[in-house]
Structure formats: structure tokens, C-alpha cells
Amino acid sequence: MSARSVMVLGTTSGAGKSWLTTALCRYYARQGLKVAPFKAQNMSNNARVVAGGEIGSAQYFQALAARAEPEVRMNPLLLKPEKDTQSQVILMGQVNAELSRMAWRGRSASVWPVVAQALDELLAENDVVVMEGAGSPAEINLKDSDIVNMRVAQHANAACLLVTDIDRGGAFAHLYGTWAMLDQAEQKLIRGFVLNKFRGDATLLAPGPQMLQDLTGVPTVATLPMWWQHGLPEEDGVFDATSVRSGAVTRTVAVIAYPRISNLDEFQPLKNVPGIHLKWVRSPAELIDADWIILPGSKHTSGDLAWLRAQGLDSAIAAHAGRGGAVLGICGGLQMLGEALIDPHGIDGNGPGLGLLPVVTLFDADKTVRHRRALFSSVGGAWSALSGVTVQGYEIHHGQTAAHSAMAAAGDVAHAVMSDGLAWQNGSGNVLGVYLHGLFEDPAVLQALFGASTPTLDSVFDGLADYIDKHFDAGVLDALIAPAPDRAA
């Protein structure tokens, strides 16, 4: 191993691990170092297509921040929850049916050699590997099967930062309790505590940081002020609290937030479009002021469709469409808008759709995972601005969708507005369904629909690096990649 490794651990999920890892990737890359991100195991339905298959979206963005080509070794194990007790297991970018059926604790022993090999290869090929943990490293009920936190840190002899969300309260207890539950050898890897999402007068923190250092020997190396608009998508949930844009609202876009929503990160650019109010919806009442309704991707289309009906959202969406309101379905959302879901292989489930698009979806045993460049043909009605626009996107789905012949015979015709069954429109033109993810990340689409552009990802990454450079204690970030101290010292 030649690379130095830095690892970001958290006291809880949502503490700030992902964005801090992304910021570190750009910080070290700007020093001319060859940098790669790594997360052994990610549990998320937000995924991106890369060379070799799919990885978690967070690692995809971290790779871009590191100025590296995203690839499957950066997230060798991806768990995509389908139910509360069931996930689809993606190993080195590909669906692994055997692991998906295996009990969680037994799975760890099977995948660790693959995880370790991927990490060792990245360490051998780079100057710095910036690693992200998952949840908390102090989950003592899971420690014997850990493959993502301290086992990884020890394998790479990583310099570890432990970050906590001080906005939730109890930050010092979270930091001390997490540190105290680690083994002595693991404690020695913790090089600094980070207080994230701080609001108020930082002088009021004293003497807490010094008392914590007296207890643990670990300094608090950064207090990061609350920062709503850092520009990265949220990884662990929707971004309700910061969805409202300043200034006059010209269009309200409502995204249905069903339980197994996937690829929600693709809507991040809409937050930066002037005049757009982006909100997440879980009840019919929240749709009253919507100009557009978007049905996003889903990791379990039939289950989320059942949830949608249970909330009464099916009737509200139908009423909106009946008034001529614009409706967009993306991937699983497209499948829901059709007449029926047909599942001969037991992939997702059979059932009737919402009937707003005269199409039918047949689920395949094989999963489609690929980048696509495609052209919108003649698009009518509410979505006519997309006519002739070439878009870049990606597909991640099992279903294949086609026009419903019986509906066509009755005069309700689905119009294919993109080749290969990638997009369909209803006769009146207000309902559109597409399989491509990433539409709103394409500058051509933003320009066509809104006449607007948004900040580039590169500027977002630079802003993150500038932010941590400003708020970390002087010399700390460079010291993390200094020659490793003797582990026995």
C-alpha cells in the first residue's frame, strides 16, 4: 500500500460524513495528488451508472470531486432497500441474487475479501484514499460483522475524523460515547473530532472541547457552521427544510416522496433554478398548489404504488392530470403511470397502474444499467419545449415499457417521444414518462424548460474545499496525510 488514507466516521447517520468526504476529496485533489474515494458498503437507493455497473451516488460525486473516474471499486457493496427486511445486493457493480437471499450477518464474511481487495488496489494506485464510514462505528450489536467502519480503518491504518451533528444536541456525549465504545487500537486511529451544523456563538462551546480532549486525548479540530446551500444532494433523505427558493415563485414542482424513492439526488439542480419552489409531497393536500407533479424513481414500484393509493394520492394526481396539469414520471414513476405492471419473474409485483399513460410495463429478470444519450422527438403539450433536445442520462431498471394495444384500439394512443421505448406521452400531451434518470442535471433540459442554468458541480466541489480549508484548524488537513505514525507507539 502506497497511499495515505483518511476516513470520515460519524456518531450517527446524517452527521455529515458524505459531504465532508466529498470536500476532502477535492481539497487533496487541488494539491495535485491522485485521490480516490472509498466506501466499503453503502445502503442507499440513490445510485449512478459507472464503469462496471452501479455504485452509490455519494461515491460517484466523491469521485468527481477527486477528479477521478468513478468506478465500482470505490463502493464495492451497495445495498438497495426494497422492503424493511430485504435489500437487493450489488457487489462490484452487479446484482448478486445469492447474496440478496443471504442473511445479513452471514453476508459480511462472504464479501469482506472482495471489499479488502478493492481497497488494497485503490491504495496501491493513488496518493490519497478518502474513506467514508456508515452510520456509527459504535454499533456494538453489529461489530462482529463490521465491514464498513473500524475494520476498514484498521485495514488501511487510516487517520480518522469523527463528525457529529451538534444541531441535534448532545454532541459531546455522542463523541465521547462513540470513542469510548471503540477498542483501544481503534481509538488510536481517531485524530480529531468535528462539530458539524453549528449555529450561534462558538465561544459558548468552551470549555466543552478541552474537557472532551482531557477525557479522550482527541482534539476538536473543526466547528463547521450550519450551511444549507452547499450544493450537494442529500444522501439519506429528502431536503424539505431548504426546498423553498428566495424570490418570487413562478412554478411549484411537487415530487411524490414515497417510501422507496430512488435517485432523489437528480432533483438537486431544481433547487437552484430561479422561481422554482421544489417540495416533497406525501399527502393530497400538499398537491393543491402544484403546477407540476413528478413521480420519481422507485426501488419497489408496486409497493410504492400501493402506498401512493393508500394515501389517496392516486386520485389527487388523476384530478391534476384531468385539469390539464403537467405530470412527469421517471423510471419507476413512468411504470406507475401506465395501465399495468406485469411481473412473470417475481421481480417487483403485478398490479394495475394509475392509467394516465396507455402503456404497460413487463419486468425482466435482467437489469438494465447503462448510460444513454437520446433525442426527444416531437413532444407536445406541456412538455413541448423538450422537442428536439438531446439529453444525457442513465438507466437503472428491470421493466420494459410498451404501448397498450387494447387502449390504442380504443383510441387512447401512447406516443413514443424517444427511441427504444425510453419516453412516452399521452394524447393530450400533459403526461410524460421517461426511463432516463438525470434529466434535470442536463444543461440542455434546464435551458429548454426554464431558460436557466445552475452552478456547475466543479464549482460546488471547490466551494466545499474552500469551506473546510477555512473552518478546520490550521495544518490539520495536511497532517492527516503526513507519514503514518507507528501503530504500536
- Residue 292 pairs in a beta bridge with 253, 326
Which of 160, 300, 320, 331 does the annotation list as catalytic?
A: 331
Render the burial of 444-482: b for 16+ CB within 10 Å, e for the rest. Answer: ebbebbbeeebeebeebbbbbbebbeebbeeebbeebbe
**Residue at grid coordinates 465504545:** 181
Categorise residue 16: left if φ over 0, alpha if ψ from -120 to 50, beta otherwise: left
> Is 277 an annotated catalytic residue?
no
Spatial separation of the C-alpha atoms in residues 489 and 477, rounded to whole Å: 22
Active site residue 160: no
Q: Hey, CA dihedral for 436, 441, 444, 450, is it positive or negative?
A: positive
**Cα 410 off chain centre by:** 41
* Candidate list 174, 300, 415, 437, residue with the active-site label: 437
Annotated catalytic residues are: 331, 437
